[in-house]
């Protein structure tokens, strides 16, 4: 079995290059990989580099706020491809007042009667804001199409309308960056098993995820068709090889930073003045307050 059959292999050269990473069955993140496949990225290096990149993300947000930049970062990909983990590392150091994560659920009966893009538009950024979509309007070209939640006519209408819609966003001054997380079928299977075995992560595995597992080829074909129609110069697709979560996160964050022309506008550190005297303030008696028990002496 090869990499995600919907990968962006638009030439024989790219195909040969991707074949260097021959997938092999694994059981978890600590499994030993077959010869020829790079080992998991060293945790120490990963954490050090992530910390450095997160500092740059903060600098980027300061600049975005200062100049009124508008940024949409869109994440798509197969279930368990690592989108959520990457999003978490991106927004972790940022001020939530200027960075929103949008993960919409099933549309309501009213929303189903609206223009398809309508429920996404209210979440678009104002000046100085970043909006991250954890899945997006591309649901129509992926899960809705494969699971037959919409008609073939609705899919074709979307594929024709989406490029024009995104060009309007870009022409209005919004920067739109689209990421597709590509994961091999073996790695996806391993991550599904890991979620089943871990009670704290079982909620991540929905009936829809299990159904999509049985429709691997259908999703690949849908993704190929989606790329063919929506990989436009104004908002191209960027594929992230995501079998190694650590590499995927670092590569994606580094690429995101390279696509925003930010400058370091971080305010200089300030020196705290001596605190003013509290005057005649007296703290109320402790026995009049309720405290959380200290269970970890």
**What single-letter DSSP state applies at residue 201?**
T
Dihedral through CA 49, CA 53, CA 58, CA 64, nearest 10? 180
DSSP 3-state of 256? helix
Q: What is the maximum alpha-carbon separation in the chain?
A: 79
Q: In percent, how much of the chain has pLDDT > 70? A: 88
What's the DSSP call for residue 27?
Answer: S
**Rounded to whole angstroms, how far apart are CA atoms 290 and 27?**
47
The answer to whether residue 181 scores a pLDDT higher than 60 is yes
Band of pLDDT at residue 225, cut at 50, 70 and 90: very high
Contact 33, 39 (CB under 8 A): yes
Residue 133: pLDDT over 90: yes
pLDDT at position 219 over 70:
yes
Radius of gyration of the chain (CA): 23
Residues in the chain: 297
Comparing CA positions, the residue from 292, 238, 245, 284 lying closest to residue 8 is 238
pLDDT at 279: 82
pLDDT of residue 9 exceeding 60: no
Q: Could you give the CA distance from residue 74 to residue 69 in angstroms, rounded to a whole number?
A: 16
Burial of 11 (0-12, 13-18, 19+ CB in 10 A): exposed
H or E element in which residue 190 lies: helix 185-197
- Quick check: helix, strand or coil at residue 95? coil
Q: Could you tell me the pTM of the whole model?
A: 0.82
pLDDT digits (tens, 9 = 90+) for 25-61: 322 333 333 345 678 899 999 999 999 999 999 999 9
Distance between CA atoms of residues 101 and 130, nearest Å: 9
Average of per-residue pLDDT across 114-118: 98
Q: Which tokens sit at 43? A: 């945790």
Rounded percentage of the chain residues whose pLDDT exceeds 90: 69
pLDDT at 158: 98
- Both tokens of 55, joined, read 């500092």
- Residue 6's pLDDT is 42
Confidence of residue 189 (pLDDT cuts 50, 70, 90): confident
Q: Sketch out the chain's domains with CATH numbers.
A: 12-288 (3.40.50.300)
Query: What local confidence, expressed as pLDDT, does residue 46 receive?
Result: 97
pLDDT at 140 (0 to 100): 98
pLDDT of residue 252: 98
For the stretch 265-276, pLDDT in tens is: 999 999 999 988
Predicted pLDDT at 245? 95
| Angstrom distances, CA of residue 128 to CA of 39, 61, 115, 121 | 39, 8, 27, 17
Q: Quick one: pLDDT at residue 196?
A: 81
Q: Are 264 and 59 in contact (CB under 8 A)?
A: yes
Average per-residue pLDDT for the chain: 87
Compute, in degrees rounded to 10, the torsion defined by CA atoms 208, 209, 210, 211: 50
β-pairing, 129-134 with 70-77?
Answer: parallel
pLDDT tens for residues 52-95? 999 999 999 999 999 999 999 999 998 889 999 999 999 999 99
pLDDT of residue 206: 75
Tokens matching residue 9: 């292999």
For residue 161, what pLDDT is reported?
A: 98
CA angle 135, 138, 140 (to 5 degrees): 120
**Cα separations (Å) of 177 from 73, 220, 255, 256?**
5, 21, 10, 8
What's residue 37's pLDDT? Answer: 61
- Tell me the per-residue pLDDT of 226-247, one tens digit each, with 9 for 90 and over: 999 999 999 999 999 999 999 9
4-13, 90-99, 107-116: range with lowest mean pLDDT: 4-13
> What is the DSSP code (8-state) at residue 284?
P
Q: pLDDT at position 2, please? A: 43
């Amino acid at each position: 079995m090869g990499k995600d059959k919907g990968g962006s292999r638009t030439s024989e050269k790219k195909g040969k290059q991707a074949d260097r990473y021959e997938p092999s069955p694994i059981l978890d993140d600590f499994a030993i990989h077959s010869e020829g496949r790079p080992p998991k990225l060293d945790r120490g290096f990963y954490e050090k580099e992530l910390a450095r990149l997160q500092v740059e993300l903060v600098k980027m947000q300061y600049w975005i706020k200062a100049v009124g930049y508008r940024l949409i970062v869109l994440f798509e990909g197969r279930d368990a491809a690592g989108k959520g983990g990457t999003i978490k590392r991106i927004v972790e150091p940022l001020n939530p007042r200027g960075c929103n994560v949008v993960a919409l659920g099933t549309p309501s009966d009213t929303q189903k009667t609206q223009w398809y893009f309508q429920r996404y538009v209210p979440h678009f950024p104002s000046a100085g804001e970043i909006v991250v979509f954890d899945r997006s309007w591309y649901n129509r070209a992926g899960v809705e199409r494969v699971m037959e939640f919409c008609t073939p006519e609705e899919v074709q209408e979307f594929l024709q309308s989406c490029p024009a819609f995104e060009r309007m966003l870009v022409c209005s001054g919004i920067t739109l960056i689209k990421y597709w997380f590509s994961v091999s079928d073996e790695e996806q299977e391993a991550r599904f098993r890991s979620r089943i075995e871990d009670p704290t992560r079982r909620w991540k595995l929905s009936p829809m995820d299990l159904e999509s597992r049985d429709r691997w080829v259908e999703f690949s074909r849908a993704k190929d068709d989606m790329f063919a129609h929506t990989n436009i110069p104004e908002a191209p697709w960027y594929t992230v090889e995501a079998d190694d979560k650590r590499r995927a996160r670092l590569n994606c964050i580094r690429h995101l930073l390279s696509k925003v022309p930010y400058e370091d506008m971080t305010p200089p550190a300030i020196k705290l003045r001596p605190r003013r005297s509290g005057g005649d303030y007296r703290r109320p008696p402790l026995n009049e307050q309720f405290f959380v028990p200290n269970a970890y002496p």
